[in-house]
Amino acid sequence: MTHAPPAVSGLLSHALADARSPRVPRTVPYLPERAFPWGGPGLHPAGAGGGVDLDRVLRLSLAAPRNSGGRLRPVASAGALHPVRAHLLVGPGCSLPPGRYAYDPRAHRAHPRGRAPADAPPGAVVVLTVTAARTVAHYGHRAWPLLLLDAGHAAAAVALAAAPGDVRVSLDANGEELSAAAGLPRAAEWKRRTEPELPLAAVWLPSVQGPIPSTAPLSAWTALPSTADPLPQPDTGNNAPPRELAAARHLLTYLAAGTEPTWHPAARPTSVTDETLRTRRSAPPSDLAHPPAPDLLARVLATAEGARPDGPAWVAAAGGDAPGLLTAAGLLASGDARPTLAHWAAGQRWIGTAGAVLVAHGCPADAPRSLIRGSHLAAGYAAGVAQAHATALGLRSRPIGSWLQADLGAALGDAPGHDWVVHGLALAGPADSPLPAPPPLPGKEERP
């Protein structure tokens, strides 16, 4: 494993501190999604049989319903910006013919981008990339952690849709290997064509029963050249602040450098059905004030805690008659932590009266790049699984991505700088009628 030069590590620590600081970003109004950059005739993902039904997987995870304008999708995203794109590496035993594809979520079509290698493993690998411009335009210097969280949510959505089955997820694969396997352009080539796509995660969907093949699923694809490039579109950055956009892309590329990928098995909570995945949506803040039943809260907390063995720890801030900060093992601290969480979450006052709030925590201020990447991707992944489980249990939910000066360890009396809130998920039980959201504080921003 290579270590970063001190100057680069210092820049990363500074960027993390800046993203967690109260500095208000320079932003622009909501910008529409750019045109799909991959040309050629698109194929419907449904096909004649195969062990991996890519039509079902993509409809339940990434597809944008035609009547939603692209903003409402089965997977949650900060600001409903949906920066994650999917490239399909399809081997034998799938509903699409073997080959490379770029997936268009608006049209629900897979655009061929080249052949498959002769030794492609059975099944499919979904390589998840992000485009940074729209998220940077909306969130400025806070965007790059949110892009990592979004990629984690998308990985969870694909894994949940593919289950049950022997689904594997990698959140630490080398970005260059992912890019080569997906046949994406090199950095200099992106600049001459369109907005870069930065690979961050992959989901492996084997199509065989029993033990999965021992061959690594990416290696057969990396030797193939790219045979279909994105359509030329000037990379204007969508009016995002140029310096912050360049910094976000540089940071994500640097964070994605890794070693051999690890592939963790993915599980779907038993109560989660395809109908759950079709109907799950983030609830508006006004619908999140009713406390969930304690047993249901404990079940969702356990799901978040167990979703990723390499992820951060989770706690739940509960209100009601016995407010406290809960772990899967029991009470961590008494008292109502929700008002503090509301203060930390970029001034989103509604969190102070939410039924309960799950928070992922860890990722020290001086964390190495592998831990920063892994903490955020795994937190997004765990929140995605927990949100699906909450939906199956009849609970409302809403992810919370923006956290400022949220040093949970210091608030609990530990040394400062070692235990920060990384992600959150608000939960609420059903209520007869939604309660009104509290008015925002003057001068305070309210961002999801």
Residues 90 and 230 in one domain: yes
Distant-in-sequence, close-in-space partners of 266: CB < 8 Å, separation ≥ 6: 156, 159, 160, 162, 163, 167, 168, 169, 203
Domain boundary pick from 230, 265, 300 = 265
Looking at the fold, whether 288 and 402 belong to one and the same domain comes out as yes
Q: Which domain holds residue 313?
A: 280-428
CA 78 – CA 145 distance, rounded (Å): 11
Q: List the structure tokens of 102.
A: 């770029």
What is the model's pLDDT at position 35? 86
Task: Work out how many domains the chain is built from and give that number.
Answer: 2
pLDDT of residue 412: 95
Cβ-count burial 121-159 (b if 16+ within 10 Å, e if not): bbbbbbbbbbbbbbbbbbbbbbbbbbbbbbbbbbbbbbb
Question: What CATH number corresponds to the domain at position 423?
Answer: 3.40.109.10
SS3 per-residue string spanning 289-353: CCCCCHHHHHHHHHHHHHCCCCCCEEEEEECCCCCEEEECCEEEEECCCHHHHHHHCCCCHHHHH
**Domain membership flag for residue 275:** no
Do 285 and 249 lie in one domain? The reply is no
Claim to verify: residue 322 and residue 177 sit in the same structural domain: no
Can you spell out the DSSP letters for 246-270? HHHHHHHHHHT--SS---EE----T
What pLDDT was estimated at residue 443?
33
Q: What is the pLDDT of residue 90?
A: 96
Planar angle of CA 318, 322, 323, nearest 5 degrees? 35
Query: In this structure, is residue 107 part of a structural domain?
Result: yes
One domain, residues 339 and 406: yes
Could you tell me if 295 and 242 lie in one domain? Answer: no
For 78, which DSSP code? G
Helix (H) or strand (E) holding 203: strand 198-205
Last residue of a domain, one of 214, 242, 265: 265
316 contact partners, CB below 8 Å, separation of at least 6? 297, 301, 325, 326, 327, 356, 357, 358, 359
Measured in residues, the chain has a length of 448
Structure pTM? 0.92
Report if residue 441 sits inside a domain. Answer: no
In a shared domain, residues 90 and 239: yes
User: What pLDDT is stored for residue 8 in this prediction?
Assistant: 60
Would you state the pLDDT for residue 259? 78
190 plus 289 within the same structural domain:
no
Q: Which residues pair with 102 in a beta bridge?
A: 87, 111
pLDDT in tens, the chain (448 residues): 445 555 566 889 999 999 999 999 987 777 778 889 998 889 999 987 678 999 999 999 999 987 666 667 889 999 999 999 999 999 999 999 999 999 999 999 999 999 999 999 999 999 999 999 999 999 999 999 999 999 999 999 999 999 887 899 999 999 999 999 999 987 777 776 788 999 999 999 998 655 565 558 999 999 898 777 888 776 555 567 788 999 999 999 999 997 789 999 999 999 999 999 999 999 999 999 999 999 999 999 999 999 998 899 999 999 888 899 999 899 999 999 999 999 999 989 999 999 999 999 999 999 999 999 999 999 999 999 999 999 999 999 999 999 999 999 999 999 999 999 999 999 999 854 343 444 333 333 333 3
What's 121's domain CATH number?
3.40.109
**Which pLDDT does position 203 carry in this prediction?**
97
- CB under 8 Å to 71, separation ≥6 — which residues? 64, 80, 82
Tell me, yes or no, whether 119 and 59 share the same domain: yes
| Residues 218 and 326 placed together within one structural domain of the fold | no
359 and 210 in a common domain: no
445 exposure class (CB count in 10 Å sphere: 0-12, 13-18, 19+): middle
Would residue 224 count as lying in a domain?
yes
- 111 and 228 co-located in one domain: yes
Residues in CB range of 63: below 8 A, 6 or more apart: 73, 74, 105, 108
User: Is 95 domain-assigned?
Assistant: yes
- Does residue 3 form part of some domain? no
Q: Report the alpha-carbon distance of residue 70 to residue 73 in Å, rounded.
A: 7
Round to whole Å and give the CA distance between 59 and 142: 30
pLDDT, residue 433, reads 39
Looking at the domain assignment, is residue 191 inside a domain? yes
On whether residue 447 sits in a domain, the answer given is: no
Which amino acid appears at position 322 of this protein? Answer: A
